[in-house]
Amino acid sequence: MTFANLSGLTALVTGGSRGIGRAIAAQLRANGAEVVIHGTNAAKLDEVAGELGGARTIVADLFDPASIEKIAAQAGEVDILINNAGITRDALFLRQKPEQWDEVLTVNLTRVVALTRALYPAMAKQGFGRIVNVTSIIAHTGNVGQTNYATAKAALTGFTKSLAKETARKGVTVNAVAPGFIATDMTDTLPEAIRENIMKSIPAQRFGETADIAAAVAFLASREAGYITGSTVHVNGGLYV
């Protein structure tokens, strides 16, 4: 038996045009899934689709409430939903503007719930589905300047656990993957002194790769992971133990 063979399954990856989402889309495609990638930049989505040897793309801005209906309609029935899209609007709590709070909660939580609500019924009807929410180590540790982000990701973790209890009898699993510090465009912009300080706190003594997250997601999306639900897989090199 080939491990994590996703042939015959269709997966939707939100935020699939760059970083972790791009790596997840590539891994799922490599494992045999038909992949649909969502993002806001049509050119980047087309670039990724080309790398994957062909993939459907959906351009939608999650700040727009109508985006969920658009994504659901264009994706159609999917077997695997990867809620990866997310944003940050960092600022110390007392300096954080209300719109910074609202934007992060909207994209990282409210739209995830809405898209899951739109796509879950078809999974339940067919008796199979995999929902994987990309959360963050920050949901479990907190972080200075990220009260909005930590709140959204912690709430998403609670959503994952509770929904898992409702969907298990329908053959649909709901899990989360919580990345630690991963080498992406975002971490590349950190000052060298901060990067070195972070590195010292990671037992593995390195930042993770996007492929590390993609591997965990692909496992949870597989048929073989059918008895795992309501769990969070921490991928952080030992930083959160």
Q: Which residues are catalytic?
A: 149
Q: Which of 48, 66, 59 is nearest to 85 (CA)?
A: 59
Q: Which of 180, 100, 107 is nearest to 140 (CA)?
A: 180
Given a contact cutoff of 8 angstroms between Cβ atoms, the answer to whether 213 and 182 are in contact is yes
Q: Tell me the Cα Rg of the chain.
A: 17
* Torsion sign across C-alpha atoms 238, 239, 240, 241: positive
Angle between helices 111-126 and 67-75 (to 10 degrees): 30
Cα 24 to Cα 19: distance, rounded to the nearest angstrom:
9
